[in-house]
Structure 1
Amino acid sequence: MPPLRSLLAVPVSLALLAPAASPAPAAPAVDALLPLLVTRGGAPAAALLASKETGPRYAHAGPGIGRADHFRAGSVTKTFIAVVVLQLADEGRLSLSDTVEEHLPGLVRGAGNDGRALTLRSLLTHTSGLPDFAADTRGTLPVAPLQAVRIALTHPPAERGRFLYSNTNYVLLGLVVEQVAGHSYADETEHRVIAPLGLTGTSFPGSRTSLPRPHGRSYAADGTDVTLLDPRVAGAAGEVVTTLADLDRFYSALLGGRLLPPHRLREMLDTRAAHGSYGMGLFPVTLPCGTTVWGHNGRISGSYVRTAATVDGRRVLTFRVNTDAIADPGLGPALLAAEFCPRTR
């Protein structure tokens, strides 16, 4: 799914405070906004976990959602895959200037699409022009990676070099990881990221339709219970299952320099190829106060999640709802602004 780009300023209200001997501290604005994801956003329930050097802060709204719940994180998976590819590049096992053809010969051909003209960098930055297979499957049809690519290749490409978000790019990167490393993208991510960071609630379920315990229920936009879901609807573009705490820890470690050397992290944050819209598995949002945060969002049937962090990884916010989307698209940006912009009290 495309990253959220619109920003709304957080409403500010003024109140007269009566004198008091020991006034209670004001609740953080982001916690006050969270219930709006239910009342205005149409979600059955919502939760957030904010992490910074002084410790974590959890809040929730609506029934049946818990701090330790496992949930599907959709396109947040792309950040994990990008880290693995950049680690392999740093080890000299591939180059971002390699063509897709070099690693997956003959695969990307059809309707004007040509892997000989596409680099791994163009896949990472969504500038390959490859069509999005999910536009055909609508995120509900389980497909193997090769099937997903073949579906995409029935359509002509967009202009190469222009930012066009396509899940096909990261399905192909999953295949490249397998070809280079000799292991699945799931195994490589477990070995390189999940285990070293102790992300005990994070996994790549493959074709397993159930969620690990504990978990709540997940609902489609029409209210249908979609807790059981075949993750092959997304594959390397959106398969991961995780928790609030694990996502905070992952993005903090990544932006804090624990997963990539400095030059590779700078490469990941470089948005020039995508004309400011996207780096590699991460995208920036500049908030109304001028602060820029980095992260990703994810949407998959029954789940929407958003993680954002300061560029040094010292402050992270992850929030989620247990349905496909937020009815009021301004609420997500408002939550980020409430968390990361200074407030006058």
Structure 2
Amino acid sequence: MPNSRTLLVIPLAVALFGLPTASSPLAAAPATDVTLPLLVTRGKAPAAALLTREDPWPPAAPGQPEPQAAQQPDQQPRWHFTQARQTTTGHTSGSATGAVARTGSAEGTGPSAPSTPGLRRTDHFRAGSITKTFIATVVLQLAAERRLSLSDPVELHLPGLIRAEDDTDGTYLDGRALTLRALLTHTSGLADYTAGTKGLIPVTPLQAVRTALALPATTPGRWSYSNTNYVVLGMVIKQVTGNSYATEAARRIITPLSLSGTSFPGTRTTLPSPHGRAYTSEGEDVTALNPRVAGAAGELISTLADLDRFYAALLGGRLLPAAQLHQMLNTRDAQGRYGMGLYPQKLPCGTTVWGHNGHIAGSYVRTAATRDGDRVLTFRVNTDEIADPTLERTLLSAEFCS
């Protein structure tokens, strides 16, 4: 990839509301349309895309599907899609000289994205740790049904699974004292098993836990992000329901919300069609990937529209009763850093957005929403690193501070 000083942003906006008349001024492009190409230039991603969603459907009961447009013709959400790509096609050749941005504004419309490495609105991609929001939602639904309690020790559901003493400082992890709440908030002390696998080795849930227990523990009660926590929660869901976390998430979230582009692929290494290519930061094509490198911590495949729809429904109270949604958004246990499968980010303008990011080989995704779910933005790049990490905050500010 070229040095960022050699890159030139060449925004090309294509408005889809129709051609302006002589009496109607051309509407200014959203601030995100100007910011997104920076992920390609300064961020050095092959391509980037975003989809925003505004104005939700009227409130519905938890678990109920979104009304069809024909039922609520005046309440249909507004969508805006933008994608940016390198102006040359060679990802590893170092010949890219700029970015081209294309925008759309209506559901199901917009110019076709260019061939690789451009991203289409309908593309499927790996959503990484956004999976955690789905897993946390299932666990909290089970808590609302009184099939488990967040105060339950892991031992109650998975006897003997967690027993380990850290030889370096004497920290002892015991499933009899470790609660589901601690797993949800990343305050368990369990090490992140991907420190051992580098996120590249497919493992079973039991192998992931054993790998984590062989690593130095963190301090129980202090926030420390660990994929192992959500692998264990996936095991708890299976023990409590008799079904895999994938089956329960499909039954409780994916099907009721009609998230037709969202799935848990298991060990399937390919992406559903349509999809683009995925690259490591070194330029290696990793489009084919065994999702068992992430499991319940990051297996999910989704689309921009589905993720916007999911977070709008979740924060709008459509998936959880008020008490459980309040618990999900409570960051006290994690010292303000994390709720349960969600985390807050305060932007420079003072607005706080809620959501999650997803980082897996070949893909980085971020969804953020207002507390009520009325405005949601999901952006993605088809590589696993953004060279300038400050751009994420810049992009969120362009959407939520304007």
TM-score interval, normalised by the smaller of the two chains: over 0.9
Equivalent residue runs for 1:254-269 within 5 Å:
254-269=314-329
2:332 to 239, 247, 272: 272
- Structure 2 equivalent of residue 81 of structure 1: 135
- Structure 1 equivalent of residue 282 of structure 2: 222
- Structure 2 equivalent of residue 39 of structure 1: 41
- Structure 1 equivalent of residue 252 of structure 2: 192
- Offset at residue 159 of structure 1 (A): 1.2
Paired letter, 1:79? T
- Structure 1 equivalent of residue 220 of structure 2: 160
Contact 1:268 1:280 in 2 (8 A): yes
2:381 to 321, 330, 337: 321
Measure the CA separation in 2 of the matches of 1:245 and 1:184. Answer: 25
Paired letter, 2:125? F
Measure the CA separation in 2 of the matches of 1:296 and 1:136. Answer: 23
- Structure 2 equivalent of residue 96 of structure 1: 150
- Offset at residue 49 of structure 1 (A): 0.0
- Offset at residue 21 of structure 1 (A): 7.3
- Structure 2 equivalent of residue 108 of structure 1: 162
Paired letter, 2:148? L
Check if 1:28 corresponds to 2:51.
no
1 or 2 for the larger relative contact order (CA 8 Å, sep ≥6)? 1
Aligned length: 323
Secondary structure in structure 2 of the residue aligned to 1:197: coil
Paired letter, 1:40? R
Contact 1:113 1:156 in 2 (8 A): no
Equivalent residue runs for 1:1-345 within 5 Å:
23-53=25-55, 55-62=78-85, 63-111=117-165, 112-342=172-402
Paired letter, 2:78? G
User: What is the alpha-carbon root mean square deviation over aligned residues?
Assistant: 1.1
Measure the CA separation in 2 of the matches of 1:297 and 1:155. Answer: 25
Contact 2:364 2:383 in 1 (8 A): yes
Measure the CA separation in 2 of the matches of 1:83 and 1:155. Answer: 28
Render the CA deviation track for 1:176-208: whole Å, top value 9, x for unaligned. Answer: 000000000000000000000000000000000
- Offset at residue 117 of structure 1 (A): 1.3
Secondary structure in structure 1 of the residue aligned to 2:256: helix
**Of 186-195 and 60-69, the range deviating more from structure 2:** 60-69
Gaps of 5+ in 2: 1-21, 56-76, 86-116, 166-171
- Offset at residue 114 of structure 1 (A): 1.3
Secondary structure in structure 1 of the residue aligned to 2:199: coil
Measure the CA separation in 2 of the matches of 1:310 and 1:23. Answer: 30
Measure the CA separation in 2 of the matches of 1:328 and 1:159. Answer: 31
Measure the CA separation in 2 of the matches of 1:161 and 1:253. Answer: 31
Secondary structure in structure 1 of the residue aligned to 2:355: strand
Measure the CA separation in 1 of the matches of 2:181 and 2:241. Answer: 18
Contact 1:130 1:157 in 2 (8 A): yes
Measure the CA separation in 1 of the matches of 2:23 and 2:40. Answer: 35
Measure the CA separation in 2 of the matches of 1:244 and 1:259. Answer: 19
- Offset at residue 253 of structure 1 (A): 0.1
Measure the CA separation in 2 of the matches of 1:164 and 1:144. Answer: 22
Measure the CA separation in 2 of the matches of 1:202 and 1:218. Answer: 18
Measure the CA separation in 2 of the matches of 1:261 and 1:110. Answer: 36
- Offset at residue 328 of structure 1 (A): 0.3
